[in-house]
């Protein structure tokens, strides 16, 4: 039987053990176009019952479109099960990483337990795809452990003025605060912005995606990166710039990040693009780096060290791990000299950026420059690149701007996202508190746009500094 083409799976009848297989014909009578999923079949069952497959795999033609869901933790059996299922003509094969049953996830060590092993899931999906000609997909859940994102949200909000938090408390607890922020916001960032969580100097006629790449290439060129060099990305996020710079310069880049979720996501993306052999991640605090002195040929940071509670302490650690004679370059988030600490509107804008972006405090650019010199760096050049950007850096967040290429960031796109998140949280498909996370990210976007318009804030204070060969050189 050859699988036919049907409408996209906008509506599906999901599998429920001991229920849905018995009622597939009824489900098809009720809905002509819904995709029907089989209850999960263990790959071992298919393999060991190969002489009795009709009992497990046969279905009536009127049940199309229909998806076979398989589970397991043995790649060889998963491959064999896929091959054995092909003649039955399923329209898709789905790999189960969502079943929470103790029999499956506990004793069986598959189902939802596989969400803790994304490397194996990637390998399993590759094996399934290599052994079938129909589409493949994976079933997962919104969570797998005992972490409560709603409680994390409440704890994060306590660090900021909305619940009485003070700047000194945020600085003292910056590791916990920043981790909670990125646990909550990473998925929203990746959905709206892509893999590189930063702004960019932008030319007219240039797309946001193109400008972000050029922004990263500019950094690599300023550092003079050469093939084979060992480079450190301080505060690497999920590694978008890391992968781009590594491929652009043929270097080996280590991403430093203190957030476990982002590192897991970054490693997965590294494998997808094939840089997992030359690039890696280290989980650590950039105020206490676990590297020997003079370890790296170059260091860079993109809108990351603004999370440090103390600029000097952070820069001093970077100075320590950088080889003598080599360079450090960064884009910093800073308040400009136009910011008036006594102006209540300026204070409000600054506070909105801080709570929405997980910052203990936003420094002036001159404070960053002083801290670099105090740490021992020789300043080669520095400039606020926002002052000469033909297209404003904040345009993608401006509600007056509309673009199909960045639709999700426009006012209409954000309205759609906000209401979708609200609906998903209401029906239980998104964690409790998702709407509040969306709200404070929206508030941050408003603060960033206002800060940019009034020229009191910049996300791209650029500097290139050098560690002397020795004292006095």
User: What residue segments make up the domains of the chain, in order of their start?
Assistant: 12-139, 146-473
Tell me: pLDDT of 359 over 70: yes
Give the rounded percent of residues in the chain with a pLDDT score beyond 90. Answer: 48
Q: Give Cα separations from 79 to 43, 48, 72, 333, 468 (angstroms).
A: 8, 13, 10, 49, 57
Beta carbons of 232 and 298 less than 8 angstroms apart: yes
Collapsing DSSP to helix, strand or coil, 320 comes out as helix
Q: Pairing between strand 66-71 and 41-42?
A: parallel
The pLDDT-based confidence of 405 (bands split at 50, 70, 90) is very low
Across the range 444-454, mean pLDDT stands at: 90
Q: Which segments of 266-321 are extended strands (E)?
A: 280-283, 296-302
> What is this structure's pTM?
0.63
Beta-bridge partners for 296? 322
The pLDDT-based confidence of 172 (bands split at 50, 70, 90) is very low
Point out the least confidently predicted range of 146-155, 189-198, 457-466: 146-155
Beta-bridge partners for 458? 334
- C-alpha 216: how far from its chain's center? 17
The pLDDT-based confidence of 93 (bands split at 50, 70, 90) is very high
Task: Give the whole-angstrom CA distance, residue 427 versus residue 417.
Answer: 15
The DSSP call for residue 342 is T
Point out the least confidently predicted range of 23-32, 88-97, 269-278: 23-32
pLDDT value at residue 297:
99
pLDDT value at residue 106:
52
Q: Long-range contacts for 53-58 (Cβ within 8 Å, ≥24 apart)? A: 53/84, 53/88, 57/84, 57/85, 57/88, 58/88
The answer for 334, left when phi > 0, alpha when psi is -120 to 50, beta otherwise, is: beta
Task: Give the whole-angstrom CA distance, residue 16 versus residue 387.
Answer: 58
The pLDDT-based confidence of 430 (bands split at 50, 70, 90) is low
Tell me: pLDDT of 394 over 70: yes
Collapsing DSSP to helix, strand or coil, 394 comes out as coil
- C-alpha 145: how far from its chain's center? 19
Beta carbons of 438 and 416 less than 8 angstroms apart: no
CA-based angle 157:162:167, to the nearest 5?
80
Q: Which two tokens mark 204?
A: 């007219």
Beta carbons of 234 and 303 less than 8 angstroms apart: no
pLDDT value at residue 444:
77
Point out the least confidently predicted range of 45-49, 140-144, 339-343: 140-144
pLDDT value at residue 212:
93
Residue pointed to by tokens 């996501």: 265
pLDDT value at residue 375:
98
Chain mean pLDDT for the chain: 81
Tell me: pLDDT of 323 over 90: yes
pLDDT value at residue 426:
56
Tell me: pLDDT of 188 over 60: no
**Domain 12-139, CATH class in plain words:** alpha beta
Point out the least confidently predicted range of 91-95, 126-130, 133-137, 158-162: 158-162
The DSSP call for residue 275 is -
Q: 324 φ, ψ to 5°?
A: -55, 140
Tell me: pLDDT of 185 over 60: no
Across the range 34-38, mean pLDDT stands at: 89
CB atoms within 10 A of CB 129: 14
Q: What's the CATH number for 146-473?
A: 3.40.50.150
More confident residue, 378 or 122: 378
3-state helix, strand, coil in the chain (%, to 5): 50, 15, 35
DSSP output for 100-157: --IIIIIIS--GGGGGG-HHHHHHHHHHHHHT-SS-EEEE--S--SS--HHHHHHHHH
- 171 CB-contact burial (10 Å; exposed 0-12 / middle 13-18 / buried 19+): middle
Across the range 111-123, mean pLDDT stands at: 80
Point out the least confidently predicted range of 369-378, 384-393, 440-449: 440-449
Q: Is the CA virtual torsion 15, 19, 21, 23 positive or negative?
A: negative
The pLDDT-based confidence of 208 (bands split at 50, 70, 90) is confident
Tell me: pLDDT of 40 over 80: yes
């Amino acid at each position: 039987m050859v699988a036919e083409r049907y409408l996209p799976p906008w509506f599906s009848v999901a599998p429920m053990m001991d229920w849905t297989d018995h009622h597939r014909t009824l489900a098809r009578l009720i809905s002509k176009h819904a995709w029907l999923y089989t209850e999960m079949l263990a790959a071992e069952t298919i393999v060991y019952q190969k002489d009795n497959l009709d009992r497990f795999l046969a279905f009536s033609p009127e049940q199309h479109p229909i998806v076979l869901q398989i589970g397991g933790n043995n790649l060889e059996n998963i491959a064999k099960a896929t091959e054995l299922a092909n003649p039955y003509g399923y329209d898709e094969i789905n790999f189960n990483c969502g079943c929470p049953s103790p029999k499956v996830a506990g004793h069986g060590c598959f189902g939802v337990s596989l969400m803790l092993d994304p490397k194996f899931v990637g390998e399993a999906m590759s094996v399934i795809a290599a052994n079938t000609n129909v589409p493949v997909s994976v079933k997962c859940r919104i969570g797998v452990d005992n972490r409560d994102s709603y409680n994390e949200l409440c704890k994060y909000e306590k660090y900021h003025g909305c619940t009485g938090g003070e700047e000194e408390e945020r600085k003292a607890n910056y590791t916990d605060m920043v981790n909670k922020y990125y646990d909550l916001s990473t998925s929203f960032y990746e959905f709206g912005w892509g893999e590189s969580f930063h702004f960019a100097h932008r030319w007219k006629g240039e797309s946001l995606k193109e400008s972000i790449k050029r922004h990263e290439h500019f950094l690599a060129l300023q550092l003079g990166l050469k093939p084979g060099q060992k480079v450190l990305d301080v505060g690497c996020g999920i590694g978008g710039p890391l992968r781009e710079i590594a491929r652009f310069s043929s270097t080996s880049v280590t991403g430093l990040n203190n957030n476990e979720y982002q590192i897991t996501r970054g490693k997965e993306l590294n494998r997808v693009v094939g840089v997992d052999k030359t690039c890696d991640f280290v989980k650590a605090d950039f105020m206490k780096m676990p590297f020997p002195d003079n370890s790296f040929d170059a260091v860079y940071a993109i809108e990351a060290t603004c999370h440090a509670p103390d600029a000097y302490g952070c820069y001093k650690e970077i100075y320590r791990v950088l080889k003598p004679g080599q360079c450090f370059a960064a884009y910093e988030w800073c308040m400009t000299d136009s910011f008036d600490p006594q102006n209540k509107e300026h204070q409000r804008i600054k506070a909105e950026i801080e709570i929405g972006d997980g910052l203990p405090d936003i420094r002036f650019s001159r404070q960053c420059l002083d801290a670099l010199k105090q740490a021992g760096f020789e300043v080669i050049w520095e400039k606020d690149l926002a002052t000469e950007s033909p297209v404003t850096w904040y345009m993608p967040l401006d509600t007056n701007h509309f673009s199909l290429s960045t639709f999700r960031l426009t006012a209409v796109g954000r309205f759609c996202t906000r209401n979708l998140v609200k609906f998903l949280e209401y029906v239980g498909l998104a964690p409790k508190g998702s709407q509040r996370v969306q709200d404070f990210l929206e508030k941050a976007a408003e603060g960033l746009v206002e800060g940019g318009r009034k020229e009191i804030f910049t996300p791209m204070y650029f500097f290139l500094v050098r560690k002397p060969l020795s004292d006095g050189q």
